[in-house]
Amino acid sequence: MKIGIANDHAAYEYKLKIAAHLRRLGHEVVDFGTGSEVSVDYPDFAHPLAKAVEAGNVDAGIAMCGTGNGMAITLNHHPGIRAGLAWNSEIGRLVKAHNNANVLVMPARFISLRMAIRITDTWLTTPFDGGRHLRRIEKIPVK
Ligand code: RB5
Query: Which CATH number goes with the domain that contains 72?
Result: 3.40.1400.10
Alpha helical stretches, state H, the chain: 12-24, 43-55, 69-75, 89-97, 113-125, 132-138
Which residue CA neighbors atom 8 of ligand 1 most closely? Answer: 66
108 C-alpha to center of ligand 1: Å? 10
Query: Is residue 134 left, alpha or beta, with left meaning phi > 0 and alpha meaning psi from -120 to 50?
Result: alpha
In a domain, 73, yes or no: yes
C-alpha distance from residue 137 to each of 22, 83, 98, 102 (Å): 27, 12, 9, 12
**7 is in which domain, residue-wise?**
2-138
Q: Atom of ligand 1 at shortest distance to CA of 65?
A: 6
Q: Identify the pLDDT of residue 102.
A: 98
Say what the pTM is: 0.98
> Which pLDDT tens digit goes with each residue over 82-130?
999 999 999 999 999 999 999 999 999 999 999 999 999 999 999 999 9
In a domain, 132, yes or no: yes
What percent of the chain shows pLDDT beyond 90? 99
Q: Identify the pLDDT of residue 60.
A: 98
Mean pLDDT for the stretch of residues 36-59: 98
In a domain, 103, yes or no: yes
Number of domains present in the structure of the chain:
1
Which residue CA neighbors atom 5 of ligand 1 most closely? Answer: 66
In a domain, 71, yes or no: yes
105 C-alpha to center of ligand 1: Å? 13
In a domain, 143, yes or no: no
Q: Identify the pLDDT of residue 65.
A: 98
Q: Please work out whether the CB of residue 67 comes within 6 Å of at least one atom of ligand 1.
A: yes
Q: Identify the pLDDT of residue 33.
A: 96
Which residue CA neighbors atom 3 of ligand 1 most closely? Answer: 66
Q: Identify the pLDDT of residue 32.
A: 98
